[in-house]
Amino acid sequence: MMLAILALLGGFVLLVWSADRFVDGAAVTAKYAGMPPLLIGMVIVGFGTSAPEMVVSAMAAMDGNPDLALGNALGSNIVNTGLILGVTALIAPIMVQSNIVRKELPLLLLIGLLFGYFIWDGSLTRVEAVLLLVGFFALVGWSIFSAMRGKNDALENDMEQELVTHAMPIKKAIFWLVIGLVLLIISSRVLVWGAVNIAHAFGVSDLIIGLTIVALGTSLPELAASIIAVRKGEHDIAIGNVVGSNMFNLLAVIGIAGVISPMQNLSADVLSRDWLVMMVMTVVLLMMAYGLRRPGRINRYEGAGLLLAFAAYNVWLVSSVIG
């Protein structure tokens, strides 16, 4: 038991560190390859910050724990929206200026609805998982198209500042890209092993462990990135990281896990509790970002509201386990 706890904690620390190195290396390498800053922000950084969820869920599915993979993806989206944006908005209100981010939010809502339709019958087949992956590649294509046409977007300006901050020689960037990826895989394997053993020791389902401990751990890179970005005044990176990560989680993370191990006999709670909470938070976030009669932003009161919603959801999870 103690070994499993150490594996979980050590896996988290190594996962966060390696994900940070991987993203920095990938972003700088892409810059040397001539990729526009906006495209780096939308695709490379978006993919990189979701890499922990992707690798952890793939490992869980390969080990025959698809519920852990699903819980990790849905739980990460709830952590991203409720905890990360809530904490970030309390530090400094988040202004939403990027037109691309505004376009991504309705798309995130549609992707969430599609996923809900797929699991309506209590399962996610391999064909449905493949369709999610097709949607992921379509999203990447749309991101490239938007980045090429989104000159002078607020997100581009934020990303240019970030690339200057993380400048490094090309050899060093490639080194961190490779090392970060290798350690990401190793730490994910250790983390999944520890999480599964702890779940079994306490008689908690893989789904609940995925929704809570694992989801929180794999979302730490987004938390760090968003807090750092908003403190620098790069508001659109702060919210763009979350929105992009949430879309990647639903399409790529669940898609990869579902292809490896189709999900059968899903708990009814996945749809009536976890998916529903995720969708309500997405709708609320969309309303905040568009602003209705005021400029789009998430102020401190709204950030506190997101945090309270996240806390209430976790109380709901704990009560379901105790009950």
What domains lie within the chain, and their CATH numbers? 50-153+195-322 (1.20.1420.30)
Say what the pTM is: 0.85
What is the model's pLDDT at position 261? 93
Query: Residues 134-139: what's their mean pLDDT?
Result: 92
* Per-residue H/E/C for the chain: CHHHHHHHHHHHHHHHHHHHHHHHHHHHHHHHCCCCHHHHHHHHHHHHHCHHHHHHHHHHHHCCCHHHHHHHHHHHHHHHHHHHHHHHHHHCCEECCCHHHHHHHHHHHHHHHHHHHHCCCCCECHHHHHHHHHHHHHHHHHHHHHHHHCCCCHHHHHHHHHHHHCCCCHHHHHHHHHHHHHHHHHHHHHHHHHHHHHHHHHCCCHHHHHHHHHHHHHCHHHHHHHHHHHHCCCHHHHHHHHHHHHHHHHHHHHHHHHHHCCECCCCHHHHHHHHHHHHHHHHHHHHHHHCCCCCCEECHHHHHHHHHHHHHHHHHHHHHHHC
Whether residue 271 is predicted with pLDDT greater than 90 in this model: the reply is yes
Residue with the larger pLDDT of the pair 202 and 49: 202
What is the model's pLDDT at position 158? 62
The per-residue pLDDT of the chain, averaged, comes to 83
What's the pLDDT band for 144 if we cut at 50, 70, 90?
confident
State which of 82-86, 154-158, 290-294 shows the largest mean pLDDT: 82-86
